[in-house]
Structure 1
Amino acid sequence: MRPVSFREAAAVWWRVALLSFGGPAGQIAVMHRILVEEKRWVDEQRFLHALNFCMVLPGPEAQQLATYLGWYLHGIRGGLVAGTLFILPGFISILALSLLYAGMREIPAVAALLFGLKAAVLALVAMAVWRLAQRALATPLLRIIALVALLAIGWLKLPFPLVLLLAAVIGLFAARFESTLLGHGWQPASQATVAASGHRHLLRIVPPALLLWGAPVLCCMVWLGPDHVLVTLGLFFSEVAVVTFGGAYAVLAYITQQAVAVQGWMQPGEMLDGLGLAESTPGPLIQVVQFVGFMAAFREAAPFSPWTAGVLGALMTTWVIFVPCFLFIFAGAPYVERLRSNLLLAGALRCITAAVLGVMAHLAFWFATHVLFAETRRLAGLTVPVLGSVQWLPLGLGVLALWLLGRRGWGILPVLALTTLGGGVAWWLLY
């Protein structure tokens, strides 16, 4: 692999950030397409290895994957740039939409422009799951693990860490006793070239990161008092940051309960509106907390104006949610790189990859259910679409996007632009 300049990598990370629509599955698809298939800066094995590591951490796995790969290419500064740029477009978008929402509540122009975007995102997610499955699900065992993971998350509602743990145990046993169950090409390629420096590495990373994480909350506590809404937001979402295993979907129910029923920051319908904004803008879905922070501070603004308080609330929630992500990656990535040559670990990660794909397939199904159908219902514990409520326009745009991406070889940006403009025009004409 040729050396990658920092400037070139920064430009690519900005491109990844601008295309990071569609939740974790779509965002992982964008990174895979650009970094593995197009640029060839990262090989398939390392990409999956990094993804597995990020999936077992609390926090948004796609943002952590970007941080990890940025660190791999250019160290801590590369990780900071990749991770920060991944957040920035979504932060700006949701802040702007939060300002509009708080002031106007009805933004039909935005709804019109985003109408076709979701269809293209759905196509991108479906293609990502399909392409990764072709590479990673090489044996019946791996396909069974993916299917069981899908059902465990979507039907049995098992905790995400437990699903990954069970997959890892199966992988350990398969690697130890019957490696043919894992297929070919899963063995570690070579000894890693990156090594951690023991406790000195942790001492260099962890204390400064913890200080940065807690500094805004401590400052607001001293300045505004322990009961101010900014302090409450900082403490609550700091807790959320360390329990968000399995991505945003796994913790949204808890956030909604606290924001609506316990704290009274917003109404149930407003929480759904915020989720729609987060799903329709670039960046991690967990950035819905930015909308929650904005609305909570907007309504309890003293001693600031509502608009100033809302911006401060958005900044506070974004800070305490994402700073730990950098901490986890910078502290743990060197050790994970050193373990890439471990045979048993490689087997465990092979099965974790299969389970991760099952989870991605579940997210893709959830997304398709809400994009392509106007109504859903519960069936045997699953949320399934009402077939008679199919929305033909999003379906047609999704099929068009899938054809352009998969058959015609169009780039992501032209497809997103075409479906967004086409969907916007159709929305104005039909709705």
Structure 2
Amino acid sequence: MKTSPSYSLRELVRYFLRLGTLGFGGPPALVSAMYQDLVVERQWITEADYREGLALAQLAPGPLAAQLAIYLGYVHYGVLGATLTGVIFVLPSFLMVLIVGWAYVRFEGLPLMQAIFYGIGAAVIGIIAVGTYKLTTRTIARDRLGWVLFGLSAVATAVTESELLWLVLLSGAIYWLMKTPPQFLRPGAGSSLTPFLPQLLALPTDSILWKLAFFFAKAGAFVFGSGLAIVPFLYGGVVKENGWLTEQQFLDAVAVAMITPGPVVITVAFIGYLIAGFWGACVAALATFLPCYLFTILPAPYFKRWGKHPGIKAFVDGVTIAAVGAIAGAVVVLARRQLIDAPAILICLSTVGLLYRFKKLPELSIIGGAAVIGLLLQQAG
């Protein structure tokens, strides 16, 4: 029996508008924020629905945080809820990236912004570290097997700097076999999920917009994991193969995505803007996010129908644990790249201390303070 939601669709859309506008830190911070806000505090989404959404987002190609937002919108309000939450979650960061892209082209670089990004980036590492810690302890609790699978996924992600789909699937299978051992000889004991992989049509044309559409559709449809996982794919195509951007322009694009709120994958809009202006940004963003939208809403009904089966539930739990481990590993990857000197480390540790001491401290105030510190350090240097 379908329970009536305790919130309206308008309230859910308003929440994702706020998260898309103020949610810094990329997938680890955004995924943790959705859990803390929607499951723990508001109790709009059940733990089971959240786990199913995180597992589906991890299994399907495309940006993790955007897919989870789409699924959570689907839980009580179907395709309409999924569509509205997905669009409103991505829209604020898309608009911000357009503005930054215009400024970047207009002023030929981001020297002032880079100073601001230095402070913000260090603070964001502290924010996502705290969020990931909360998500990890609530998800795994005292489950010893869970901690082992979590550790393997975290270490693998930190070492390879990418999220390994085979390890996520293996984690789900191990957890299923250990927690709900199947009776292999019983007829009909196994179940299989039908994969959904719509074929993208590549239309032969010399138009740069069609080339962008095809390239970014491939990025959205065939790259698994969070925004961190898509970066190497984008680098290979944008810089090495097609020569659309210089290496410095690409690094600036990734930096912009990391310090703007919303999903990290919004870097595609900045890249599209540098290549082909406003319409290039629109085409790149639409082509990247449309596959992840389809990969979420098409399997969602089946995922919800079968998700309560003990074997499927155990598999989903194992995948969720591996997903959280991958998020923790991603924090390590980000920290290695962002915490490059003593001031950055101090900003990060101060952020962790403030969030630990003052539970209700707004993250936006920390980010604003970190931006000011970044500017002061540049002036002092």
TM-score surpassing 0.5?
yes
Q: Is the 8 A contact 1:237 1:321 kept in 2?
A: yes
1:162 maps to 2:176: no
TM-score of the superposition, structure 1-length normalised? 0.78
User: Is 1:280 matched with 2:259?
Assistant: yes
Q: 1:118 to 1:410 in 2, by over 3 A?
A: farther
The CA distance in 2 between the partners of 1:109 and 1:409, in whole Å, is 32
Question: What is residue 156 of structure 2 aligned with on the other side?
Answer: 152
Map Cα deviations across residues 315-369 of structure 1 (whole Å, 9 max, x no partner): 1100111112221222111111111211011111222122112211111011111
Once the two structures are TM-superposed, the CA of residue 105 in structure 1 deviates from its matched residue by: 2.2
CA distance in 2, matches of 1:339, 1:267: 47
Q: Is the 2:239–2:245 contact (alpha carbons within 8 Å) kept by the matching residues of 1?
A: yes
Q: Secondary structure at the match of 1:242?
A: helix
Q: Which residue of 2 aligns with 1:233?
A: 212
Letter of the structure 2 residue corresponding to residue 331 of structure 1: L
Aligned-residue offset at 1:147? 1.4
Q: Which has the higher contact order (CA 8 A, sep 6+)?
A: 2
Matching residue of 1:71: 74
The correspondence for 1:336, drawn from 296, 300, 303, is 303
Report the count of equivalent residues.
Answer: 365
**What TM-score does the superposition give when structure 2 sets the normalisation length?**
0.88
Name the counterpart of 1:351: 318
2:380 partner amino acid? L
What amino acid sits opposite 2:256 in the alignment? L
In structure 2, relative to structure 1, the CA distance for the partners of 1:37 and 1:57 (3 Å cut) is same
Q: Who is 2:369 aligned against?
A: 419
- 1:405 aligned to 2:372? no
CA contact (8 A) 2:53 2:72 kept: yes
| Counterpart residue identity of residue 81, structure 2 | G
| Amino-acid identity (%) | 26
Partner Cα separation in structure 2 for residue 159 and residue 129 of structure 1: 16
User: CA–CA distance in 2 between the matches of 1:269 and 1:261?
Assistant: 13
Structure 2 residue aligned with 1:243:
222
Does residue 62 of structure 1 match 2:65?
yes
C-alpha displacement of 1:158: 7.7
Give 1:297-376 correspondences, 5 Å limit. 297=276, 310-373=277-340
1:395 aligns with 2:345: yes
Distance 1:407 1:35 in 2: 23
> RMSD across aligned C-alpha pairs, in angstroms?
2.5
Gaps of 5+ in 1: 179-198, 298-309, 374-389
Alpha-carbon distance in structure 1 between the residues aligned to 2:304 and 2:67: 15
Counterpart position of 1:15: 18
Provide the rounded CA distance (Å) in 1 between the counterparts of 2:170 and 2:317.
12
Distance in 2, Cα, partners of 1:174 & 1:82: 36
Question: In 2, distance between residues paired with 1:416 and 1:350?
Answer: 34
The separation in 2 between residues aligned to 1:414 and 1:245, in whole angstroms, is 30
Classify 1:32/1:234 alpha carbon distance in 2 versus 1 (closer, same or farther; 3 Å). Answer: same
Change (3 A) 1:74 1:165: same
Q: Which residue of structure 1 lines up, in the alignment, with residue 7 of structure 2?
A: 4
2:162–2:228 CA contact under 8 A, matched in 1: no
Residue of structure 2 in register with 1:33 after alignment = 36
Once residues 104 and 98 of structure 1 are traced to their aligned partners in structure 2, the CA distance between those partners, rounded to angstroms, is 10
Give the distance between the partners of 2:269 and 2:42, measured in 1 at CA: 33
Distance 1:365 1:8 in 2: 34
Counterparts of 1:148-297 in structure 2, within 5 Å, are 148-155=152-159, 160-177=164-181, 226-297=205-276
Gap runs ≥5 in structure 2: 183-193
Are the equivalent residues in 1 in contact too, given 2:70–2:293 (CA < 8 A)?
yes
